[in-house]
Amino acid sequence: MVRCTLCKERESIYTRAYSGESLCRRCFERSIMRKVRMTISRYGMFEYDDRIAVAVSGGKDSTALLHIMAEIETRFPKSTLVAVTIDEGIKDYRDEALSIASENSRLLGIEHVTVSFKDLYGYTLDEIVEMASRTQLTPCAICGVLRRRAFNIAARMVKAEKIATAHNLDDEVQTVILNILHGDPFRIARIKPVLDSAQAEFVRRVKPLCEVPEREVALYAYIKKIKFQDLPCPYAGTALRNEIRNMLNRLEERHPGIKYAIFRSVERMRPYLEKALSELKMRRCIICGEPSVGEVCQPCQILRDLKIL
Ligand code: SF4
Ligand code: ZN
Ligand code: ZN
């Protein structure tokens, strides 16, 4: 039996190749909580009395985030949580996720609010994808714009000051590489653990899991017996993101810690990128808040032309 490196008592269930630690179930759980608390404090994500909207899709990362936030929040009696789910309207996929999100919220005693594309925009994502089939927009590009907007509306509706999303270390590092491969390095400046609200009407987005590897979020959800939806979105993942995911996983296996190294490198580069970005006079899209050359970014423009926005 391999003993836990930390408590030196119990049997280890997981070895962290990047740190050399072997951890028992209890020490692993504690280490995840510690890591998330450190991320929250390092980036000053929350005030003690924030009302926090947790974006819960029903997948493993977001349901794990909801459980973690619920535990952290017990130490902050003046702060409140509300789970927010966006129902994009994706046939044979979103319904299960919605019931899982609401079940987890009920279990934790957290208010749960759902906002749908149909109510906000008049169409489901399936319908919009059909309408946009002659444009160059991918379903995820459309979904991304409309969902960001939907979260902002939902957060204002529930009077939240912050929106916590479940992006993990892997998501963040993949996005860095994707931006480089798309020839859009300045966008990296925007992949931040805390996103500034571009305008007063945008609610601050924070990513408390951004320093937890995907594998560890999954293990956490598994050992806490958290119920989540395992089905991938039918539109999910461009081929390129999947290839990057596989490449990074292969690299991490042979060179443990490489994902953290990329994450930290970006942290160090970000001030320079932001400076260069401000000199480039990039604007923020007045509709979705993403960096844009013009007043309205390209995806929002196309959605406007389709009379969806
Ligand atoms: Fe939306 Fe794409 Fe995510 Fe599906 S995979 S929910 S289409 S962003
Ligand atoms: Zn232990
Ligand atoms: Zn936009």
- Distance (angstroms) between ligand 1 centre and the Cα of 210 equals 19
State whether 194 and 220 are in the same domain: yes
d(CA 21, CA 114): 40
**Whether residue 198 has pLDDT greater than 80:** no
Nearest CA to ligand 1 atom 7: 140
pLDDT category at 239 given cuts 50, 70, 90 is confident
Q: Considering just the CA atoms, what is the radius of gyration of the chain in Å?
A: 20
15-24 tens-digit pLDDT: 999 999 999 9
Q: Does 303 reside within a domain?
A: no
Q: Which ligand is nearest to the CA of 13?
A: 2
Tokens describing residue 211: 């320093």
Q: Are strands 283-284 and 204-206 parallel, antiparallel or unpaired?
A: unpaired
Quick one: pLDDT at residue 200? 52
SS percent in the chain: helix, strand, coil, step 5: 50, 10, 40
- The string over 153-182, giving b where at least 16 C-beta atoms fall within 10 Å of a residue's C-beta and e elsewhere, is bbbeebebbbbbbbbbbbbbbbbbbbbeee
Give percent above pLDDT 70 in the chain.
96
**Whether residue 62 has pLDDT greater than 90:** yes
State whether 48 and 23 are in the same domain: no
Q: Does 13 reside within a domain?
A: yes
Tokens describing residue 247: 């490449």
Q: Which ligand is nearest to the CA of 143?
A: 1
**Selected residue with higher pLDDT from 142 and 277:** 142
Q: Does 68 reside within a domain?
A: yes
115-170 tens-digit pLDDT: 999 999 999 999 999 998 888 888 988 898 899 889 988 999 999 999 999 999 99
Model pTM?
Answer: 0.93
Q: Which ligand is nearest to the CA of 152?
A: 3
Range of lowest pLDDT (6-15, 81-90, 150-159): 150-159
pLDDT category at 203 given cuts 50, 70, 90 is confident
Pocket of ligand 1 (CB under 6 A): 88, 139-140, 143-144, 233, 235-236
Domain that holds residue 205: 43-277
Tokens describing residue 308: 């969806």
pLDDT category at 199 given cuts 50, 70, 90 is low
Q: Does 295 reside within a domain?
A: no
State whether 261 and 137 are in the same domain: yes
Q: Which residue has the tokens 């489901």?
A: 124
State whether 163 and 234 are in the same domain: yes
State whether 244 and 214 are in the same domain: yes
Cβ–Cβ contacts within 10 Å for residue 26, how many?
15
State whether 171 and 22 are in the same domain: no
State whether 109 and 224 are in the same domain: yes
Q: Does 288 reside within a domain?
A: no
Reference 162, options 72, 236, 226, 93; nearest CA is 72
Range of lowest pLDDT (50-64, 105-119, 249-263, 265-279): 265-279
d(CA 270, CA 186): 9
Are 211 and 35 in contact by the 8 Å Cβ rule? The answer is: yes
pLDDT category at 303 given cuts 50, 70, 90 is confident
Domain count, the chain: 2
pLDDT category at 197 given cuts 50, 70, 90 is low
State whether 107 and 2 are in the same domain: no
State whether 6 and 88 are in the same domain: no
Reference 190, options 223, 156, 212, 167; nearest CA is 167
Long-range contacts, stretch 134-139, CB < 8 angstroms, 24+ apart: 135/302, 135/306, 137/299, 137/302, 137/303, 138/235, 138/238, 139/235
Nearest CA to ligand 1 atom 2: 140
State whether 23 and 84 are in the same domain: no
pLDDT category at 202 given cuts 50, 70, 90 is confident
pLDDT category at 201 given cuts 50, 70, 90 is low
Quick one: pLDDT at residue 300? 87
Q: Does 72 reside within a domain?
A: yes
Instruction: State the CATH number of the domain containing residue 218.
Output: 3.40.50.620
Range of lowest pLDDT (23-37, 92-106, 288-302): 288-302
DSSP 17: T
pLDDT category at 263 given cuts 50, 70, 90 is very high
Q: Does 55 reside within a domain?
A: yes
- Distance (angstroms) between ligand 1 centre and the Cα of 241 equals 13
Could you give the angle at the alpha carbon of 192 between the alpha carbons of 206 and 296, nearest 5°? 95
State whether 25 and 59 are in the same domain: no
**Whether residue 297 has pLDDT greater than 90:** no
Reference 49, options 170, 149, 201, 160; nearest CA is 160
- Distance (angstroms) between ligand 2 centre and the Cα of 26 equals 6
DSSP 196: P
State whether 58 and 181 are in the same domain: yes
Q: Return mean pLDDT, the chain.
A: 92
Q: Does 36 reside within a domain?
A: no
**Selected residue with higher pLDDT from 197 and 124:** 124
46-57 tens-digit pLDDT: 999 999 999 999
- Distance (angstroms) between ligand 3 centre and the Cα of 287 equals 5
